[in-house]
Amino acid sequence: MKKKNGFLTNTVHSDRRMGTEYGAIHQPMHPSTEYGFSDARELAAVFQGKAGFSYARQGTPTTAALERQVTQMEQGSGSVSFASGMAALSATFLTLLKQGDHLISSQYIFGNTNSLFGTLRDLGVEITLVDATDVAQVQAAKQANTRMVFVETIANPGTQIADLQGIGNWCAEQGLVYLIDATLSTPYLCPGKRFQASLVVNSLSKHIGGHGNALGGMVTDTGLFNWEHYPNISEAYRTGNPAGWGLAQIKKKGLRDMGGTLSSDAAHRLAVGAETLPLRMERICSNALALARYLQQHPKVRKVMYPGLAEHPQHERATRYFGGRYGGLLSVVLAEDIDVFDFLNRLQVLILATHLGDNRSLVLPVAHTIYYEMGAEHRALMGIADTQLRISVGIEEEGDLIADFEQALASF
Ligand SMILES: *Cc1c(COP(=O)(O)O)cnc(C)c1O
């Protein structure tokens, strides 16, 4: 039997293999908002669940092609695309949780997700934040009304690595939905399915798109969760194979009703970006490790948080999960006597910008920007220092990145 093709081969050929006209290597970019039918029965059939397109708010052939591409990367059973990672996350929480339900979440999460939890609490969803690097803390938070557990694979910005495997095994035993935000690791470092995730969210705006030219988000069902016993699936979506019910509800309520739809234009750009994900990730991971090692030994640097360093509390776990690659995000705490703004203003290669997973290296002061809104007390709980920088490492030459830090640190 022929050997199975690798991640890159499958990714660069995925559009073409779905069938295109004239041997085109890309799926076309469909701008149509409505799709016409020559047979009224066919029109009705699509409204009643047959695969097809009716109105672009629920997807186009271009977004569907991107969905298949990411489903293949995640080795999942299906995906639904959204206009951004936050649209994907908010649609998933809002369509699967109800008033009176309980969600257990890692306390180490992206700031905007933390802010979204405020909205969920206002709507009557109970949320317990725990240190998910320890599965026992997740288990201890379980209540009779617990429906879902949420974690990030590599936490933004602290780089904590949750006990992804231990939590996955426990959720499977307990019949809980296990939702993973894999934005920082990407399916290239490890598909969420290997941790027994039920659903995986990826912000496509980050590594998967990679070029800083389009926003997008994706929810992928790994096919592992049995939705038949999940109480919040509406009667209307309890038809056909139960494996597909969760994603059907996310698509109908989250995309059709809430309308955070990805445009065909953005989907095309993200799909082109995604073709080189493995090459970019290899380069980004090796650059990040080199920069982390350089900064760690620098006398003007107090602390470097990067899972690739032996001193990182979950270094061994990260090595096991991600095969010796540790992602592109590092958090760096400068010596207390350095003015963080003066330091940043001296950098010449890195861009002072939010965002991560871009081809270009980006840096920002965490406490004054993405974590400003939550206040000093919550920042302390999350272990965010005032001189902390979040660095998203890009694909530049390693020596250029190190030299940029070297010259900026030299003046303090
Ligand atoms: C950026 C990010 C998101 C949100 O993605 P957008 O596409 O910017 O909306 C969600 N989770 C994590 C971990 C992120 O880094």
- pLDDT single digits (tens) 96-155: 999 999 999 999 999 899 999 999 999 999 999 999 999 999 999 999 999 999 999 999
Mean pLDDT throughout 219-235?
Answer: 96
Q: Same topology for domains 7-274 and 277-409, yes or no?
A: no
pLDDT reported for residue 19:
86
Instruction: Identify the weakest region by mean pLDDT among 13-27, 52-66, 335-349.
Output: 13-27
For residue 38, report the distance from its CA to the centre of ligand 1, in Å: 41
For residue 366, report the distance from its CA to the centre of ligand 1, in Å: 15
Mean pLDDT in residue range 331-341:
95
Residue to probe by mutation, ligand 1, list 84, 86, 180, most atoms within 8 Å of CB: 86
Ligand 1 centroid to Cα of residue 215, in Å, is 10
Q: How far is CA 243 from CA 144, 165, 167, 247, 283, in A?
A: 24, 22, 21, 9, 37
> What is the chain's mean pLDDT, rounded?
96
CA of 390 to the centre of ligand 1 (A): 14
Q: Closest ligand 1 atom to the C-alpha of 109? A: 13
pLDDT band at 83 (very low <50, low <70, confident <90, very high): very high
Structural domain boundaries of the chain? Answer: 7-274, 277-409
Which residue owns the Cα nearest ligand 1 atom 7? 85
Stated pTM of the model: 0.96
The residue contributing the CA closest to ligand 1 atom 8 is 85
pLDDT at site 9:
92
Q: Which atom of ligand 1 is nearest to the CA of 156?
A: 13
Print burial letters for 7-21: b (CB count within 10 Å at least 16), e (below 16). eeeebeebbeeeeee
Average pLDDT of the segment spanning 297-326: 97
What is residue 392's predicted lDDT score, i.e. its pLDDT? 98
> What is the pLDDT at residue 66?
97
pLDDT of residue 360: 98
Share of the chain above pLDDT 70, in %: 100
Mean pLDDT score, 300-326: 97
Residue 383: predicted pLDDT: 77
Query: What is the CA(18)–ligand 1 centre distance, in A?
Result: 29
Q: Ligand 1 within 6 A of 84 CB?
A: yes
Average pLDDT over residues 89-97: 98
Residue 82 CA to ligand 1 centre (angstroms):
12
Are 361 and 392 within 8 A, CB to CB?
yes
pLDDT score of 1 more than 70: no
Residue 7 confidence (pLDDT): 93
User: In ligand 1, which atom is closest to the CA atom of 88?
Assistant: 9
Closest CA relative to residue 180, chosen from 325, 298, 35, 190: 190
For a pocket test of ligand 1, which of 117, 154, 156 has the largest count of ligand atoms closer than 8 A to its C-beta? Answer: 156
CATH, range 7-274: 3.40.640.10
Q: What is the mean pLDDT of residues 378-383?
A: 80
Task: List pLDDT tens digits, range 230-286.
Answer: 999 999 999 989 999 999 999 999 999 999 999 999 999 999 999 999 999 999 999
Residue nearest atom 5 in ligand 1 by C-alpha distance: 85
Q: What is the pLDDT of residue 17?
A: 86
The answer to whether 320 touches 307, Cβ cutoff 8 Å, is: no
Question: How many whole angstroms from 260 Cα to the centroid of ligand 1?
Answer: 15
Say yes or no to pLDDT of 382 above 80. Answer: no
Residue 408 in this model has a pLDDT that exceeds 80? yes
Residue pLDDT, tens place only, 33-54:
999 999 999 999 999 889 999 9
Which tokens sit at 195? 């941790």
Q: How far is the CA of 87 from the centre of ligand 1 (A)?
A: 9
277-409 belongs to which CATH class? alpha beta
pLDDT attached to residue 172: 97
